[in-house]
Amino acid sequence: MAGALRALLFLSQVLLVACGTVTPPAADWPLELPQRERFTEAWEADAANRQLQDLDTYLGWVQRFYAGNNLVPGWTSMTLELQARVTSQRWQAVAPRMQALGERIAVEWAKDNSLRRINTRCAAVWRDALQEALVRDDLDAFLSRLEADVTALLDGSLAADLIRFERYYVDDFDS
């Protein structure tokens, strides 16, 4: 009985992983995401990643970045939460920055793990720092630091292991 249960658990895990990497046809691309072509072009332009990851897998990870999962909110929900917490006038200035950041991060994050310069830990740090920026009313300054760090990560002048919460804010619990 224990062996059958183990096999069933293993099969369910395999199916969950497989479901996360299946990409719907172009006609089913979620409307709330940037255009599929943006990511298709990025995948086509990256010969190294194309050798390790097919387009459907890459696009599946792009969708996961935006959608998140039960444990971690995706970029879409983070953006909606941000929109709900700022004035509509402020949102008009922030929205294009968040969209551009989301696209730049997703293009890199969705790559094969061995190649990407932006990893899940970076995204988690940025999510927490975004929350702190709202608490401290420091959103514009934080977004400027985030934009600079994304650029530095992408050009290779900053290592992902340097992205820590303390890079953006002093953690009161560490004091």
Provide the number of structural domains found in the chain.
1
Written as six digits, the tokens of 37 are: 């072509």
Find the DSSP H helices in the chain: 2-21, 36-45, 47-52, 55-67, 75-85, 88-109, 120-135, 139-155
171 — phi, psi (to 5°)? -80, 115
Is residue 172 predicted with pLDDT exceeding 60? yes
Domain containing 161 equals 2-174
Q: What is the pLDDT of residues 76-99, one digit of tens each?
A: 999 999 999 999 999 999 999 999
Give per-residue pLDDT as tens, 101-156: 999 999 999 999 999 999 999 999 999 999 999 999 999 999 999 999 999 999 99
CA torsion 51-46-163-23 (nearest 10°) is -70
Q: Amino acid letter at 23?
A: T
